[in-house]
Structure 1
Amino acid sequence: MKTYFTYLHRNKLFTLVNVAGLGISLMFVLLIANMVVRQLTVGSDIKDIEHIYVLSNEEYSASNYLVGERLANRYPEMADWCAVNAEAYKSGSYAVIDNRKTSLEIYCVKDNFLRFFGYSLLSGNPEQALVDAHSIVLTESAARKLFGEEPAEGKMLRLSADKKEMYTVTGVIKDFENSVIPDEVEAIVPFDYVDFVNWGSSMHNPDMNNMGGTAILVRFPQGVNPDQKAADMLSFLKTFSWGYQHDLFREAFWMPLKDVCFSEIMSPQLRQYNPVKVWIFLVAGILILLMAIFNYVSMCVAQVSYRAKEMATRRLLGSSARSIFWRLLGESALFTTGAFLLALLLAKAVEPTACDLLQTRLDIWDDLNAITLLIYLIGIVLLSLLAGVVPAVLLSHYHPLDVVKGTFRRKTKAVYLRALYVVQSGLTVAMLTCTLYLSAQIYRILREPLGYTYGHVLDYPAMTVGSSEKIRLFRDEARKKPFVRNVCLTAGTPVNRGNNNTTQLYDSNGIPQNVSFQVFRTDSAFLDIFHIQVFDDRKLPRKWGNMYFSESTFDSLQLDYARTAELRNEYGRQYAVGGRYADIKFGSILLPQSPTMISVEHPDKVRPWNVLVETIEGDQAAYKRELDALFSEVVEGIPFESKWYADEMTEVYKDLLHMRTTIVAFTCAALLISLLGLTAMSIYFISQRKRDMAIRKVFGSSAGMERARLLRFSLLSLLAGMLLAVPLAWFGVQQIDGILHYSPMAMWGVFGVAFLLVALISLGSVCLISWGAVRENPVNHIKTE
């Protein structure tokens, strides 16, 4: 291998480009592979996961606690069942210990949760840990956060939603990691706590108002088909579940827990991933790796004529074609192993950034085991074969006399390079097209008209405070600030979707129709802050029941607004029509939209979820600091997070923005690899053509004509690459449209921009590199022949 190291040392550009290209691309592949493996093995910590199923319908893998209880009483084959509620999670919950308030992410579960999932405790008895309604199990990190290094078991604390009772720590569990329960969950409490979070999901509420707040999980014995009685279960649900009685749900089935992770049916309580995004990331990583391999192969092919003399000498000294072949594959394996080790170091270095971009936890080192190492070894072998077989075949199968006569150089200098140039440029154009298309679509989404507008609006959480007096005190004190324009107390905002009220209203023919409303109970400042114009305000008294309705309400019911004084539901409840307004879009515009209604009430009658503070133009950061300090003082140190409404709007699309950032990173890496490869290939390609250029210049060709020849060769290769890029780009755009569910746009504009950028980079590099070569004295190259 000494001659190989000498070769690498003498060809520093070749070494740098390929080590960097392979190292960077393998870094992406390692990170993505770690992500995919983790996602495919979600729930591996759960006992008998293959026998656990989740109650589902066509919309949600969720239901109500009492539904699970009734099904268990009816179907004895349900060997064991559990309920998981996430409504206290990410809701601003906190624990109080010695008047010290600390945020705490809580899940509410049935008392058999630990036994059902097979979770063990670091301390405490898993059989008894959740039996008492006022017990709490902390994760290891949460116990350390709350009590330091002191033993947590037996300690007392108070939880924010329950103002009366103290809770006893009955156990400590290892932090959730790569489980169906999100990693951020810090505490597990009995299901009784739901009473204080959302009465609609309570197991003590016979009305079962919330039919999507709780996951119902069942373990069926081996050999039992869970859906054997699906038809009977559907009929049974229609006898008591209002969601089925009103035909909101038409299906009922049991989904395997191991399938929930990648299911298109939403499961608000359990961890889920988007399978299309996973495949996009995986394909992008593989494409970058292929481009790096093409770089390596193409540069090896470009270097073939230089190494051919060495191999021809070995053949003439007695080496066989087979020994030359395996020698070159060995060199490829050595080179690939070095690049792989570099990739491991790079992957570990960028792991925190990758975790943020991919929105998942990664751990390259901790996930190393015997199987992983074996897979890595197999990958290195396959990669070495893929990267090294073409140069090895070329150099080992030509006769040494071809090299001496120059036939070998003339046969290799164009065909292989052009083919690889075409493939690489096609892949680059396709990836850049997908990146530009996604960016353009996200730009359109973020600027989609919402039916309302807003200025500088700061949103404060009101539900975590638990005191209407303190909220009103903050409102009154905030109004005194000279930079505050308006303050609103509201139960819901357009970005958080308000509260859903699905009911049956009578249409123009007296037939009840299902209508899903998003409801906002608020004061009059709401209309001003969001610039919502009410048409034909009938000036009804401001109280619940006198409603403003969006225009689509009347369209969906085929009602004439001018003749409609009230709307009546199937229970006889009447809603007085106080006016109408243009439809507004709530939450993400990528989700289905429905009619909305606004109840404008007296500010002191509103039970707010949010306090909205609108500020004037100026130093917004300073305004926020002052208002935050005021809010913290009023609520006496309760943990909170205030956000600008514009940031909340952006956060709705954070998954898309992270996906865009990740794909941009992939594309930049691809462009860098492509640029390095094309530049290096151009250098070697031009050096191979110097003799031909010299002969033509002797017969009258000029430097400009020679440069045009080189540019024409590159341009024709780019055009051929474009034919490859079109189907790849089209496929990528289709996948992006499948994720976004947003009105598609024609891809040809961004495809043209992508092609022009790649062409500019490629032709620019050829032009710059050839600048000196076409001006050289032809005698310098002819006399060496």
Structure 2
Amino acid sequence: MFRQLNFRSFFNFLGRNRLYAFINIFGLSVSLMFVILIADYTLRQLTCDDYHAKAGRIYAIGTEASLNSGYYLQKYLRDRYPEIESTCAVAASGQSTDATQPVEAGQRKYSATVLFADTTFFRMFDFELLEGDRDQALASRENVVLSESFARKVFGTFNPLGQAIRFPDEEKSYVVSGVVRDIDRSVIPNTDIIMRAERLCDLNPANDERMSNCGAVTTFLLVHPGADLTAKIPDMLAYFKQMYWPYKGNVVSGVTLTPLRELYFSRLNDVYSLHHGSWAFVMILFGVGAVILLFAVMNYINLTVAQTGFRAKEMAARRLLGASRGEIVLKLILESTLMCVTSLIIAFFLAVAVQPYASQLVESKIDILADMTPVVVACYVVFIAALGVVAGIVPAMMVSRYKPVDIVRGTFRRRSKMVYSKVLITIQNVITIVLIATSLTIGLQIRHLISAPLGYETKDILDVSTEIFSDYGQIQQFRNELLQQPCVEAVALGCGSPHSRGNNNTMQWGPDRMVSFQVFVGDSTYFRIFGLELLRDNHTDKGWALNQYALHELGIGEDATHFKMGPDYSWNFEIAGVYRDFQVGSALDEPTSAMLLDVGDYDRWNKTGNYQTYPWDVLIKVRGDKTEAYNTVKSVFERISDGGVFSGAQYLEQEIAADYADQRRILHIVGIFTLVAILISALGLVAMSTYYIQQKEQEVAVRKVFGSTRAEVLGRLVGSFMRMVGAALVIAVPVAWYLLGRWLQDYSVRISLSPLIFLVAGAFAAAVAFLAVFWQSSRAADSNPVDSIKS
């Protein structure tokens, strides 16, 4: 048995067949590189928050629709349920985890992300505190904890403990009380600054004990060991219906308790405060990674089967010298495993080299070396051994089944008809066509979503958040100086935009129903640059305008002048006008009711104090080159703020395009895998055509002697491969049509599947196959038949 471990003959064979060796090692190495990257990404995704000692006792409370709750909800829960050991409310700054706030430290200004958390944060979660005391880090409302990377950015190697930072909109300073290692593998986002959650109440009075703002935070509950809080869900629901307005008004109707370890992939998790993962995206990665690996294994099997005629005599000699069929099978499987091990080593170095780019692509950290535990190594060993068996078993069984006497007589090659190879090449082309059609469909769907009519203008509008300003006076100065710039056409002040959804106001409508309005406030320029169409003007300075959908939801006509709200319909609202429906949010969002208020001159209206002290957004309509305009706006801000950090500014078109980041990410990944699959498939076809034509040399020579033209010979050689592509197209079209049709059903705004998509995919696959086999076929057609017959 041990004599089969001698690989000298295998190395000699590889040396004589360098194309075979290169294609197999290249294909396997590239495929295994993706396997390593995907495996590490998946491992990190599936083990989010596993490292917290109390993870099994931590839950996030939510409704049937989301995980957001009012800030003071935790107080009511602690008072009522003894099963709860402690609670912790968490919220990220702004409307997403990427929102930033201006921060001053020393004489310099920075832009930072902020996480609001209760004093229990570091006692509930085991994030590593590099500096400071876990129990005291957030003990004072004036304490802040910095992330390791932000502390290094601001203070360098200097110890930041005790240093002061401040926010421009506040007079008081905050003291650095700790430094936490950058948060990783958690639903809690990694932010620059962690500070007390009570500041949310200072920033927004609606975060009061009445919980007027019911979506301020995510509330985590730590239950006592052995306690079953989930058994209290029915009681919680009954309790909430008595004291929590979303339940009293039937806006929501369920209570959920999601375990921390399940939170990352929970359908309830959103981007407001927490990081979240997509199980569908992980499955897509698994799928395309498996496809690439399958292509490489197919190539190995194809090429090895094609090469069996060249190795048959060696195996016959071994059989004649006493080797059993089982030993022959074992030898070929060991050779396959050696090839896989070699490819895995190469793949490991490739994966480490490209891991920064892969991290950017999947928008999540990948760290192969740091995650290489003994368990992971053992999994790789088992995987590569299994892969070696799978890749080597078919060629081994084919070679070992022939009798030595058949091989010595030369009948083996006459019996080899490439049945396995034809089937596998057809399967490769089926998958290639499906991948190409998928890439085309996703690209067309994204383009369709971005260009979908929204009912308002989006072109050349720069959205600048007012969070970068210290007061309304700065906003006024900023607007006035911008209006003097040639690249600025208009400047509007408002509270949100149709894309950012403005603000939400959910009101009681009758005894058992609530109506949710998205609220938009802006000056006259705001409504002009967005081109919002006023269908009816009731010529009143009082009340709010509504969109058509709101009228429909309230059951009133466009000629109505009032509508009533409240539990007993006693709240009377005057209708200032009616606007044509426009898209609120992205094209993926459902229609919603909207309330709109045109304040005319924001400076004059702002003095009344009826609504708020200053707007949320400065919306700038630019002309000319948008990059130059952006730089001009930035320089004006930096001059006004004396070197402040200009952040949070984007063109509306960019914000809309960002809505489809997940779809773009899938497109990029599928596109990359499609190109790799095409490359591996093309290399396999080149090699297969080489060995196939070698077997057909004498047949070609005979045909040419009997008068076949070059075109006829070439057509016969190339045609055999093109027929495989044709068969693949017949199989691939219904498969792709079904899968892509199912995918498109998730979009309310979607393209129609055109036959042209599949024709283009098939034509591209055919072109690749034709180019891959044409060169060798052309050489065979041009060869001298006398030389082939002699050989």
**TM-score above 0.5, yes or no:** yes
Deviation readout 1:512-536 (Å, 9 max, x if unpaired): 8532221111111122212222123
Closer, same or farther: CA 126–449 of 1 in aligned 2, 3 Å: same
Query: C-alpha separation between the residues in 2 aligned to 1:744 and 1:378?
Result: 44
Query: C-alpha separation between the residues in 1 aligned to 2:145 and 2:742?
Result: 42
Alignment of 1:162-201 (within 5 A): 163-183=170-190, 185-201=191-207
- Within the alignment, does 1:534 sit opposite 2:534 as a pair? yes
Closer, same or farther: CA 724–47 of 1 in aligned 2, 3 Å: farther
Q: Which moved more, 1:568-577 or 1:496-505?
A: 568-577
- TM-score, reference length from structure 1: 0.94
Query: C-alpha separation between the residues in 2 aligned to 1:230 and 1:738?
Result: 34
- TM-score, reference length from structure 2: 0.93
Query: C-alpha separation between the residues in 2 aligned to 1:280 and 1:91?
Result: 29
Query: C-alpha separation between the residues in 2 aligned to 1:391 and 1:741?
Result: 49
Q: Which moved more, 1:80-89 or 1:520-529?
A: 80-89
Query: C-alpha separation between the residues in 2 aligned to 1:738 and 1:8?
Result: 50
Query: C-alpha separation between the residues in 2 aligned to 1:573 and 1:596?
Result: 18
For the 8 Å contact 1:513–1:557, the answer to whether it is kept is no
Pairwise CA distance, 1:290: 0.4
Give the one of 111, 114, 117 matched to 2:122: 114
Closer, same or farther: CA 741–298 of 1 in aligned 2, 3 Å: farther
- Within the alignment, does 1:305 sit opposite 2:309 as a pair? yes
Alignment of 1:382-531 (within 5 A): 382-505=386-509, 514-531=514-531
Query: C-alpha separation between the residues in 2 aligned to 1:241 and 1:512?
Result: 13
Partner of 2:628: 622
Q: Report the 3-state secondary structure (helix = DSSP H, G, I; strand = E; otherwise coil) of the residue aligned with 2:412.
A: helix
Q: Structure 2 counterpart of 1:302, which letter?
A: A
Query: C-alpha separation between the residues in 1 aligned to 2:747 and 2:25?
Result: 37
Partner of 2:15: 9
Pairwise CA distance, 1:722: 3.5
Partner of 1:35: 41
Pairwise CA distance, 1:665: 0.8
Query: C-alpha separation between the residues in 2 aligned to 1:323 and 1:37?
Result: 38
Pairwise CA distance, 1:612: 1.2
Partner of 2:32: 26
Q: Structure 1 counterpart of 2:267, which letter?
A: E
Give the one of 680, 690, 693 matched to 2:700: 693
Q: Which moved more, 1:515-524 or 1:111-120?
A: 111-120
- Within the alignment, does 1:562 sit opposite 2:559 as a pair? yes
% same residue: 32
Query: C-alpha separation between the residues in 2 aligned to 1:379 and 1:31?
Result: 15
For the 8 Å contact 1:437–1:747, the answer to whether it is kept is no
For the 8 Å contact 1:567–1:577, the answer to whether it is kept is no
Deviation readout 1:648-683 (Å, 9 max, x if unpaired): 211122222122111111111111111111122112
Query: C-alpha separation between the residues in 2 aligned to 1:393 and 1:160?
Result: 75
Query: C-alpha separation between the residues in 2 aligned to 1:116 and 1:284?
Result: 38
Query: C-alpha separation between the residues in 2 aligned to 1:349 and 1:575?
Result: 63
For the 8 Å contact 1:463–1:608, the answer to whether it is kept is no
- Within the alignment, does 1:766 sit opposite 2:773 as a pair? yes
Pairwise CA distance, 1:221: 3.2
- Within the alignment, does 1:159 sit opposite 2:167 as a pair? yes
Q: Which moved more, 1:484-493 or 1:405-414?
A: 405-414
Query: C-alpha separation between the residues in 1 aligned to 2:439 and 2:63?
Result: 35
Partner of 1:232: 235
For the 8 Å contact 1:489–1:603, the answer to whether it is kept is yes
Pairwise CA distance, 1:213: 1.9
Pairwise CA distance, 1:491: 0.8
Pairwise CA distance, 1:765: 2.8
Partner of 2:265: 262
Deviation readout 1:494-524 (Å, 9 max, x if unpaired): 2211111122457xxxx88532221111111
Q: Report the 3-state secondary structure (helix = DSSP H, G, I; strand = E; otherwise coil) of the residue aligned with 1:587.
A: coil
Pairwise CA distance, 1:121: 2.2
Give the one of 358, 367, 376 matched to 1:363: 367
Give the one of 242, 246, 254 matched to 2:245: 242
Partner of 1:578: 576
Q: Which moved more, 1:621-630 or 1:241-250?
A: 621-630
Query: C-alpha separation between the residues in 2 aligned to 1:410 and 1:597?
Result: 81
Give the one of 139, 148, 153 matched to 2:147: 139
For the 8 Å contact 1:475–1:487, the answer to whether it is kept is yes
Q: Report the 3-state secondary structure (helix = DSSP H, G, I; strand = E; otherwise coil) of the residue aligned with 1:671.
A: helix
Partner of 1:95: 103
Q: Give me the CA root mean square deviation.
A: 2.2
Q: Report the 3-state secondary structure (helix = DSSP H, G, I; strand = E; otherwise coil) of the residue aligned with 1:76.
A: coil
Query: C-alpha separation between the residues in 2 aligned to 1:81 and 1:106?
Result: 20
For the 8 Å contact 1:488–1:525, the answer to whether it is kept is yes
Q: Which moved more, 1:670-679 or 1:223-232?
A: 223-232
- Residue segments in structure 1 that go unaligned for 5+ positions in a row: none
Give the one of 708, 715, 723 matched to 1:716: 723
Q: Report the 3-state secondary structure (helix = DSSP H, G, I; strand = E; otherwise coil) of the residue aligned with 1:532.
A: coil
Pairwise CA distance, 1:731: 6.1
Query: C-alpha separation between the residues in 2 aligned to 1:739 and 1:52?
Result: 32
Q: Which moved more, 1:92-101 or 1:284-293?
A: 92-101
Query: C-alpha separation between the residues in 2 aligned to 1:120 and 1:704?
Result: 72
For the 8 Å contact 1:52–1:218, the answer to whether it is kept is yes
Give the one of 215, 237, 262 matched to 2:218: 215
Q: Structure 1 counterpart of 2:129, which letter?
A: L
Closer, same or farther: CA 739–101 of 1 in aligned 2, 3 Å: farther
Q: Report the 3-state secondary structure (helix = DSSP H, G, I; strand = E; otherwise coil) of the residue aligned with 1:755.
A: helix
Give the one of 659, 667, 673 matched to 2:666: 659
Pairwise CA distance, 1:173: 1.7
Pairwise CA distance, 1:459: 1.8
Query: C-alpha separation between the residues in 1 aligned to 2:750 and 2:666?
Result: 18
Alignment of 1:276-355 (within 5 A): 276-355=280-359
Closer, same or farther: CA 731–128 of 1 in aligned 2, 3 Å: farther
For the 8 Å contact 1:565–1:577, the answer to whether it is kept is yes
Q: Structure 1 counterpart of 2:158, which letter?
A: E
Query: C-alpha separation between the residues in 2 aligned to 1:120 and 1:339?
Result: 38
Partner of 1:251: 254
Partner of 1:550: 547
Deviation readout 1:213-235 (Å, 9 max, x if unpaired): 21111122344332212221101
Query: C-alpha separation between the residues in 1 aligned to 2:742 and 2:48?
Result: 24
Deviation readout 1:356-403 (Å, 9 max, x if unpaired): 111111111211121111111111111111111111222222112222
Deviation readout 1:297-341 (Å, 9 max, x if unpaired): 101111111222232233334433333222222221221112112
Q: Which moved more, 1:757-766 or 1:229-238?
A: 757-766
For the 8 Å contact 2:86–2:120, the answer to whether it is kept is no
Q: Report the 3-state secondary structure (helix = DSSP H, G, I; strand = E; otherwise coil) of the residue aligned with 2:736.
A: helix
Deviation readout 1:96-141 (Å, 9 max, x if unpaired): 2224222222111111111112344222221122121111122222
Closer, same or farther: CA 741–292 of 1 in aligned 2, 3 Å: farther
Partner of 1:752: 759
Pairwise CA distance, 1:576: 2.6
Query: C-alpha separation between the residues in 2 aligned to 1:196 and 1:101?
Result: 23
Pairwise CA distance, 1:625: 1.4
Q: Structure 2 counterpart of 1:603, which letter?
A: Y
Query: C-alpha separation between the residues in 1 aligned to 2:14 and 2:151?
Result: 55
Query: C-alpha separation between the residues in 2 aligned to 1:306 and 1:741?
Result: 58
Q: Structure 2 counterpart of 1:425, which letter?
A: N
Pairwise CA distance, 1:468: 0.5
Q: Report the 3-state secondary structure (helix = DSSP H, G, I; strand = E; otherwise coil) of the residue aligned with 1:420.
A: helix
